[in-house]
Amino acid sequence: MELKEIIKQIANVSKVEIKRVAPKECEEIKGLILKSTPDDLYEKMVVGYLTSICAECMYPDTFHLQRNDLDYIGFELEKGTIETETAGKMLGTCMKGGKIKVNKAGDETGSSMNGGEIIADEIMGIGNTLKGKIIAGKVGKLSKNQGAEIIINGVKYKRSLLDRLLGK
């Protein structure tokens, strides 16, 4: 199966739709991710969903992603662990659970994440988060609205003036 075949069969980009048409075997999904060359946003999102589907399929084992150029890794991840060297933009977008470990992540990491954990040595930018946990050695920039617990270089990020007043 090829990325283009999946795209032809889905009505819209959603995890449910992609899961419906994706291969059922973890190794087949992994192979599809490795050979795909997503060009546009639509294709990048589909491959991102495939990384989550693969990690969930492999759970409790870790999905060691041997690609360093993908955006949307761990898109809507619910369980499982993904490990990779370098992630592109939108790592862990809308994730609800599970864990993602990377050395380096791009912009908008953790955007709209509602659970789970992201561990990285370096993150270019953290997007607006709802819940979850992000642990990083170094962060370039943080978006304004942070609901996740964020720890940068061992120091907990204080989310707001009210949180500071309450000592959280």
pLDDT in tens, 34-54: 999 999 999 999 999 999 999
113 CB-side CA count, 13 A: 36
Question: In the structure, what pLDDT confidence band is assigned to residue 69 with cuts at 50, 70 and 90?
Answer: confident
User: So what's the pLDDT on residue 13?
Assistant: 93
Report the predicted TM-score, pTM, of the whole model to 2 decimal places.
Answer: 0.92
Q: DSSP label at 144?
A: S
Q: How far apart, in whole angstroms, are the C-alpha atoms of residue 76 and residue 95?
A: 4
Beta strands in the chain (DSSP E): 62-64, 81-86, 99-105, 114-126, 131-142, 149-152, 155-156
Mean pLDDT of 67-90: 97
User: So what's the pLDDT on residue 103?
Assistant: 98
Torsions phi, psi for 2 (to 5 deg): -115, 160
How is residue 120 written in tokens?
């990285």
pLDDT tens, residue by residue, 99-137 = 999 999 999 999 999 999 999 999 999 999 999 999 999
pLDDT at 162 over 70: no
For the chain, the farthest-separated pair of C-alpha atoms sits apart, in whole angstroms, at 55
Asked if 71 and 53 touch (Cβ cutoff 8 Å), the reply is no
Mean pLDDT of 67-92: 97
Q: How far apart, in whole angstroms, are the C-alpha atoms of residue 115 and residue 95?
A: 6
> Quick one: which H or E segment has residue 139?
strand 131-142
